[in-house]
């Protein structure tokens, strides 16, 4: 249940506000516990870091705590590794014959897709190595940080640029921007038009023109009062003659500074793929030196050049199940398909054994998720139930996306609908598992929909000047539920005394339920026979 954690139960808890009779019944029928899905428990830098879908599914599949995302890049930065490889080629390209260095990524300190610290260090290193022309292409968050703060982040970046270039002739500017859900950061090929909008803003310089990033944000907010940062229209910054200040030209260097892969892969492909690219009409594609922050897709080696090498996750739970010759199903709607496959499998897209594994991608709606908040919960349940009826699969996994994707919109009423749709789907799947004499395991990858309001340091809800809640669109650091209901007759109990039980214990739990050996380097199972 993507994005469904354990909240306070107050009036801003979208899970508590929803009618969830099937989850309530599961809690009574089997074993129930609350586990960690954030921070150091999933390999992130600190326990103030929210969990996210990528690291959550990586950790579920890995059975161990693997350095992830910002932590992996943090280690490379602190050890100096990041400056020793492809970065040398980036600088060489950007300091040749009037070329420019373009940095594209999410302007955020949420540490889910990108890091403010990483961006600052890139800028400082670029200055120290003589990069004369630099252009920033900023994507606004509104999901992993407090919403409607894009102006603050943009002002902070402008201040940083001013400090770094003071007293010099460095030509460094913000050149384009836009909200992440409508500009550049599509994933799983759900809507290439989002990437095309970013391409026109960042690369071609033909998006809606503004004389500054501040003018763009102010104007777009005035045109649509209350608009979320993630939905701000793509724009290009132009000079006094109306010409774009930073289109990408032949010979330039381009770096995507996002470290998370799912929403960086498509723009990467637009830069590096040749004439066979079919995502959208790129126009006259510039010939550039391109690098990503790290590896975004291991099976396609995307990007071919990256500043930091990714973690290698071997012996994931599905790899072990495949070696045992057992049939597996992975099914999800498009928005979470890669999490059930690529991330779950330790950053590998293809099955370990195509003869025993089936992957099903259920197309997601291409509209704002709060407009159809049930998403594809029913269709995902249909797929799992049909596969159970076939009787050939030993291990089936799926993702119900609504708690996360609708929770990100900040629409509280829609989130309640989404959670209730997830509960209905879980109930239908539970009945099918009961009929098959199987075992049902239900958990989440991180929290989100259970905490839908911004809070002060004391945990009290924050309100706008007009008294309305400041709705939250980001993940949480809350614990998540784990339900195990075995309909085969076997009884289970939770294992007492485990140190910080979390998602990293899930793989061993699944292997115990399947009667398969647990590797010595796995974190222990959360359950044992009663």
Q: Are 206 and 200 in contact (CB under 8 A)?
A: yes
- Alpha-carbon distance of 457 to 473, in angstroms, equals 17
Is 200 labelled as part of a ligand binding site?
no
Is 169 labelled as part of a ligand binding site?
no
Is 214 labelled as part of a ligand binding site?
no
Q: Rounded to whole angstroms, what are the CA distances from 504 to 59, 337, 501, 526?
A: 5, 20, 8, 10
Give the total residue count for the chain: 530
Q: Are 13 and 455 in contact (CB under 8 A)?
A: no
Is 118 labelled as part of a ligand binding site?
no
End-to-end CA distance of the chain: 26
For residue 113, the tally of other CB atoms under 10 A from its CB is 27
- Alpha-carbon distance of 320 to 157, in angstroms, equals 46
Is 336 labelled as part of a ligand binding site?
yes
Q: Are 452 and 485 in contact (CB under 8 A)?
A: no
Beta-bridge mates of residue 331: 360, 398
Is 404 labelled as part of a ligand binding site?
yes
Name, in order, each residue with C-beta under 8 angstroms of 376's C-beta and a sequence gap of 6 or more. 333, 362, 363, 364, 365, 401
Is 261 labelled as part of a ligand binding site?
yes
Is 475 labelled as part of a ligand binding site?
yes
Nearest Cα to Cα of residue 147 among 411, 428, 402 = 411
HEC assignment per residue over 127-149: HHCCCCEEEEEEEECCCCCCCCC
State the DSSP string of 288-346.
-EEEEEE-SBTTTTBSSSEEEPPPP--S-HHHHHHHTT--EEEEEEHHHHHIIIIITTT
For residue 274, the tally of other CB atoms under 10 A from its CB is 6
Is 38 labelled as part of a ligand binding site?
no
Q: Are 438 and 401 in contact (CB under 8 A)?
A: no
Is 78 labelled as part of a ligand binding site?
no
For residue 164, the tally of other CB atoms under 10 A from its CB is 16
Q: Tell me the catalytic residues.
A: 53
- Alpha-carbon distance of 178 to 202, in angstroms, equals 10
Is 408 labelled as part of a ligand binding site?
yes
Nearest Cα to Cα of residue 105 among 163, 164, 178 = 178
* Binding-site residue set for substrate: 113, 143-144, 180, 187, 260-263, 336
* Binding-site residue set for Mn(2+): 2, 53, 404, 408, 445-446, 475
* Binding-site residue set: 2, 53, 113, 143-144, 180, 187, 260-263, 336, 404, 408, 445-446, 475
């Amino acid at each position: 249940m993507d994005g469904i954690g354990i909240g306070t139960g107050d009036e801003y808890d979208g899970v508590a506000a929803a009618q969830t009779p099937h989850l309530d019944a599961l809690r009574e029928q089997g074993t129930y516990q609350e586990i960690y899905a954030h921070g150091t428990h999933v390999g992130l830098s600190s326990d103030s870091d929210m969990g996210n879908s990528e690291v959550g599914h990586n950790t579920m599949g890995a059975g161990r705590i693997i350095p992830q995302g910002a932590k992996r890049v943090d280690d490379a930065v602190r050890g100096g590794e990041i400056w020793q490889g492809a970065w040398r080629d980036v600088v060489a390209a950007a300091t040749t014959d009037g070329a420019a260095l373009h940095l594209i990524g999410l302007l955020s300190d949420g540490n889910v897709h990108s890091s403010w610290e990483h961006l600052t260090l890139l800028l400082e290193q670029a200055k120290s190595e003589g990069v004369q022309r630099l252009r920033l292409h900023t994507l606004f968050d509104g999901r992993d940080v407090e919403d409607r703060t894009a102006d603050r982040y943009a002002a902070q970046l402008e201040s940083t640029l001013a400090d770094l270039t003071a007293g010099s002739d460095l030509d460094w500017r913000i050149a384009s921007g836009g909200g992440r859900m409508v500009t550049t950061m599509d994933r799983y090929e759900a809507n290439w038009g989002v990437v095309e909008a970013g391409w026109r803003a960042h690369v071609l310089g033909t998006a809606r023109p503004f004389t500054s990033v501040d003018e763009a944000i102010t104007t777009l907010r005035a045109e649509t009062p209350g608009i979320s940062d993630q939905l701000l229209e793509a724009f290009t910054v132009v000079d006094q003659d109306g010409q774009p200040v930073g289109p990408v030209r032949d010979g330039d260097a381009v770096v995507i500074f996002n470290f998370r892969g799912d929403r960086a892969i498509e723009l990467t492909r637009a830069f590096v793929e040749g004439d066979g690219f079919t995502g959208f009409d790129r126009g006259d594609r510039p010939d550039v030196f391109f690098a990503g922050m790290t590896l975004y897709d291991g099976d396609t080696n995307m990007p071919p050049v990256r500043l930091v090498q990714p973690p290698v996750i071997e012996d994931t739970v599905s790899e072990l199940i495949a070696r045992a010759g057992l049939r597996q199903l992975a099914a999800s709607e498009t928005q979470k398909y890669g999490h059930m496959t690529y991330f779950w499998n330790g950053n590998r897209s293809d099955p370990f054994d195509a003869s025993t594994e089936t992957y099903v991608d259920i197309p997601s709606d291409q509209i704002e998720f709060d407009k159809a908040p049930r998403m594809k919960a029913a269709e995902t349940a249909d797929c799992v139930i049909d596969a159970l009826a076939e009787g050939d699969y030993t291990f089936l996994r799926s993702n119900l996306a609504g708690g996360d994707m609708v929770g990100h919109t900040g629409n509280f009423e829609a989130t309640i609908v989404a959670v209730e749709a997830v509960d209905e789907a879980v109930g239908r799947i539970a009945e099918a598992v009961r009929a098959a004499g199987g075992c049902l395991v239900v958990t989440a990858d991180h929290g989100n929909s259970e905490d839908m309001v911004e809070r002060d340091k004391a945990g009290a809800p924050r309100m706008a000047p007009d008294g309305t809640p400041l709705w939250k669109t980001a993940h949480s650091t809350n614990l998540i539920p784990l339900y195990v209901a075995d309909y085969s007759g076997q009884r289970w109990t939770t294992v007492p005394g485990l140190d910080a039980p979390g998602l990293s214990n899930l793989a061993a739990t699944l292997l115990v339920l399947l009667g398969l050996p647990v590797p010595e380097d796995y974190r222990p199972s959360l359950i044992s026979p009663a």
